[in-house]
């Protein structure tokens, strides 16, 4: 008998400006097999948070960067990038300036 695979959990670290939305914490642990599922889980636990990260069309906002263990997901598989248990995900705003 094959047991269903456990859904990976990851630690998501949010930028200061979004921490009020997660109870003024620095990070939360959520489950998801891809970055898209991680964002779905964040939205489930903290309604409204997805709109901070993504447009209504589902695409990542252009000046929001998500790093999976220090790799920018734009250079991986975007929102479909797989997530493994124990992963640390950083959500950051783009550098602004000259």
Partner 1 sequence: MSHNRTYTPGTVLVLVGTKRGLFLLTSKDRETWEVESTTLKGHRVFYSILDQRGGHRLFATDNGDFFGTFVRYSDDFGQTWQEPEQGIQFPENSQQKLENIWVIESGRPNEPGTIYAGVDPASLWVSTDGGQHWELNTGLANHPTRERWGPGAGGLCLHTIIVDPTNTSRMWVGISAVGCMRTDDGGQSWVFANKNTRADFLPEKYPEFGQCIHRLVQHPSRPDVLYQQNHCGIYKSLNAGEDWIDIQQNLPSEFGFPIALDAHHPDTVYVIVEDPNGRNNVSEQFTVYRTDNGGEHWQPLTEGLPAGPGVRLGVLRHGMCSDGKDPCGVYVGTNTGQLFATNNGGDTWRLIADFLPPIYSVTATVLV
Query: Do residues 29 and 10 lie in contact, with contact meaning Cβ atoms separated by under 8 Å?
Result: yes
For partner 1, the closer of residues 6 and 96 by Cβ is 96
For partner 1, the closer of residues 31 and 92 by Cβ is 92
Distance between CA atoms of 4 and 73, rounded to whole angstroms? 27
| Least distance (Å) between residue 26 CB and partner 1 | 16
Residues that bind partner 1 (CB under 8 A): 17-18, 48, 51-53, 55-59, 61, 63-64, 93-94, 96
| Least distance (Å) between residue 52 CB and partner 1 | 4
For partner 1, the closer of residues 85 and 94 by Cβ is 94
Distance between CA atoms of 11 and 22, rounded to whole angstroms? 13
Sign of torsion over alpha carbons 32, 36, 42, 43? negative
């Amino acid at each position: 008998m094959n047991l269903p695979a456990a859904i990976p959990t990851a630690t998501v670290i949010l930028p200061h400006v979004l921490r009020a939305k997660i109870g003024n914490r620095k990070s939360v642990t959520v489950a998801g097999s891809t970055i898209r599922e991680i964002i779905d889980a964040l939205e489930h636990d903290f309604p409204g948070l997805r709109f901070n990260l993504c447009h209504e069309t589902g695409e990542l906002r252009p000046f929001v960067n998500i790093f999976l263990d220090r790799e920018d997901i734009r250079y991986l598989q975007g929102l479909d990038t797989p997530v493994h248990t124990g992963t640390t995900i950083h959500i950051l705003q783009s550098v602004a300036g000259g």
